[in-house]
Amino acid sequence: MLGIETSCDETAASIVVRDSAGKAVIRSNVVRSQLDEHAAFGGVVPELAARAHVTYLDHIIAQACREAGLALGDVDAIAATAGPGLIGGVLVGLTTAKALAAALGKPLIAVNHLEAHALTARLTDGVQFPYLMLLVSGGHSQFVLVRGVGNYERWGTTIDDALGEAFDKVAKLLTLGHPGGPAVEAIAKSGDPKRFKFPRPLLREARLDFSFSGLKTAVRLQAEALAPLSDQDVADIAACFQAAVAEVVSVRAGQALARFKAELPEHTPQLVVAGGVAANRTIAAALDKACTAAGATLIVPPIALCTDNGAMVAWAGAERFALGATDHLDFTARPRWPL
């Protein structure tokens, strides 16, 4: 399976095969990040992203084939992200996949990007259904119950910013650069996570949703009150922000796992993490604690497969293809496409 991913700022292609024992193997996974193109703007500029996908995608696909030691004509089918995402980029990947499918006479599989994140742990860790997924990236923050391929229930989502987006905005206001998550985590190491008491939005409510914009505002007001900020102020604010989101995420994970146990008592609770924020050690440690307390298993795939990549799209395509699900060449790209 060839998998193509272009829904945000990574141009990616991968070939995933099954070995003679039927086990899935990633034969190549080429990702070209556009960080440099967008750095000066402090965030992803959709038009620039789409243009860069146009420039690089053909080369990335050729490289994925070369590294896999396969010709394009050897693949059984072609999978591409068809949404949700920045529509210009999605169109580049999906249209390229359609062209290849038409020219090679191969089936097309239009993959939901969220489904690709949701199924990755089955490729990397052989996780069995059902499981709870926590997707925390720059564009999404949600809990999804994954019962099977194509069988998803969203249990909670953010009502404003995504968690990665909150990290990016806090980094921007502390002038730490983009992407903000790694920068906030790095500087938080030398900060005092108890100096400021930032809010834990929605935490008292029973719902499994997130809200991060109020927290971001509290961070901004604190930064303005202290201005000009010393290096220690910046580190302390970063540490307190990170402590607040880690607490929110782990409390919510505990609540989601409690619901899992109540609704699926015959299954061991499993929590799978996806998205770039999974790289954050403080958040991962908080999730680990929540899972231990709930008697649940925590699965964190290798971070290169938690962030956007082609292998997750190829794998989701392979899972759907194995069930006979292919798509027509007139499949329309979807900027919004809830699971």
For the bound state, the minimum distance from the C-beta of residue 152 to ligand KG4, rounded and expressed in Å, comes to: 18
- Peptide bond before 179: cis, by omega within 30 degrees of 0? yes
Q: Determine if 308 is a binding residue for ligand KG4 (CB under 6 A).
A: yes
165 is in an annotated binding site: no
Of residues 139 and 201, the one with the C-beta less far from Zn ion? 139
Report the C-alpha dihedral over residues 321, 304, 37, 5, rounded to 10 degrees: 0
42 is in an annotated binding site: no
Taking CB under 6 A as the binding criterion, the range among 61-69, 174-182, 230-238, 248-256 that sits at the site for ligand KG4 is 174-182
105 is in an annotated binding site: no
Q: Determine if 8 is a binding residue for ligand KG4 (CB under 6 A).
A: yes
How many residues at the interface with ligand KG4, by CB under 6 A? 20
| Cβ-count burial 19-58 (b if 16+ within 10 Å, e if not) | eeeeebebbbbbbbbbeebbeeebbbbbebbbbbbbebbe
In this chain, which of 61, 307, 312, 320 binds ligand KG4, going by CB under 6 A?
Answer: 307
Of residues 158 and 280, the one with the C-beta less far from ligand KG4? 280
Enter the DSSP assignment of 331: P
Which residues are CB-neighbours of 309 under 8 A, at least 6 positions away? 5, 10, 12, 14, 29, 31
For the bound state, the minimum distance from the C-beta of residue 268 to ligand KG4, rounded and expressed in Å, comes to: 27
- Residues 66-125, interacting with ligand KG4 (CB under 6 A): none
Joined together, the tokens standing for residue 213 give 């914009």
Calculate the CA 41 to chain-centre distance.
22
Write the CA distances from 37 to 9, 42, 144, 182, 206, integer angstroms: 9, 10, 32, 18, 41
Of residues 3 and 138, the one with the C-beta less far from ligand KG4? 138
Position 145, amino acid:
L
Of residues 78 and 163, the one with the C-beta less far from ligand KG4? 163
- Residues 234-293, interacting with ligand KG4 (CB under 6 A): 275-277, 279-280
181 is in an annotated binding site: yes
Taking CB under 6 A as the binding criterion, the range among 94-102, 133-141, 147-155, 201-209 that sits at the site for ligand KG4 is 133-141
Residue 167 interacts, among Zn ion, ligand KG4, none and using kind-specific CB cut-offs from 5 to 8 Å, with ligand KG4
Taking CB under 6 A as the binding criterion, the range among 89-97, 179-187, 223-231, 256-264 that sits at the site for ligand KG4 is 179-187
Q: Determine if 137 is a binding residue for ligand KG4 (CB under 6 A).
A: yes
Q: Determine if 180 is a binding residue for ligand KG4 (CB under 6 A).
A: yes
Residue 255 interacts, among ligand KG4, Zn ion, none and using kind-specific CB cut-offs from 5 to 8 Å, with none
Of residues 11 and 137, the one with the C-beta less far from Zn ion? 137
At what angle are helices 163-173 and 231-263 packed, to 10 degrees?
Answer: 170
In the three-class reduction of DSSP (H, G, I as helix; E, B as strand; rest coil), residue 249 is classed as helix
In the three-class reduction of DSSP (H, G, I as helix; E, B as strand; rest coil), residue 112 is classed as strand
User: With the C-alpha atoms ordered 135, 139, 141, 142, is the resulting torsion angle positive or negative?
Assistant: negative
Bridge partners of 17? 25
Q: Are 180 and 231 in contact (CB under 8 A)?
A: no
Taking CB under 6 A as the binding criterion, the range among 13-21, 134-142, 194-202, 316-324 that sits at the site for ligand KG4 is 134-142
112 is in an annotated binding site: no
The annotation places the binding site for substrate at 135-139, 168, 181, 185, 280
In the complex, the residues that contact ligand KG4 under the rule CB under 6 A are 8, 137-139, 164-165, 167-168, 179-182, 185, 275-277, 279-280, 307-308
